[in-house]
Structure 1
């Protein structure tokens, strides 16, 4: 099967349906952080920039991933941490028609305000020096 196996770490379990529509599994954040030493290192790590700013464990994990250069790091959100300006760049992720359809369904399940789903998304990414698992992310 093509695509990614995605696990989303969640602090609260209000409604996982939007994530499941997108094909993601969910795992409790506290359990995942408690077992980080015994779990395999992911090929890619994506985090909300706001979470980076307010949770020191997430901040530490993101910085370690960038420093080690083995895990690709991607951040999304409205504000970007100034300390990462030198190590992450803006990247554009084009969405296929199918991806836009699934995203619209997930947003509806999350009771988000209705609206058109854009054809692309902008993230900040620290690409690693090996073949990227996110080859569809291009400089924005």
Structure 2
């Protein structure tokens, strides 16, 4: 049985942990293969706490496999043309779930996307709290993480990204 794959691109480990750590943990626990690439790699311990697989940024774009889902920091679109082009192609194809956190206006996409949130499981809150400490952050872990969704959400038995409002 093929596993769902979520590819994630962030600026740095702390960005990924703070913005999407609980959602990524819950996806891993639901059986997803979650790969995370960061532009500024440092200590990857926080990502490993969440159960995700850290990979090099160049490796994210070298594979032939199209992921089920793509998630990224909106700010990354202005940093690397490959990221911006991959995002735009994924949104146009409508086959890949695309989720963005942070600066959500992406000119290459041409629309703001729908605001969605993920309610963290109790386990996700615990593991994200440990990852926050490992990433050197001084932030409180809340019950929700908020994103912008472009295109379709992955069709699973238990949808985890729900519309805000």
How many residue pairs get matched? 135
Name the structure 2 match of 1:67.
Answer: 92
1:121 aligns with 2:140: no
Aligned pairs for 1:57-96 (under 5 A) are: 57-77=82-102, 79-83=103-107, 84=109, 86=111, 88-96=113-121
Q: Distance in 2 between matches of 1:27 and 1:4?
A: 16
SS in 2 for 1:70: coil
Unaligned 5+ runs, structure 2: 1-28
Question: Which of these two proteins has the greater Rg computed from alpha carbons?
Answer: 1
Change (3 A) 1:91 1:15: same
Q: Distance in 2 between matches of 1:50 and 1:130?
A: 23
Superposed displacement of residue 112, structure 1: 0.4
Query: How high is the TM-score relative to the length of structure 2?
Result: 0.73
1:20 aligns with 2:48: yes
Change (3 A) 1:55 1:6: same
Change (3 A) 1:134 1:47: farther
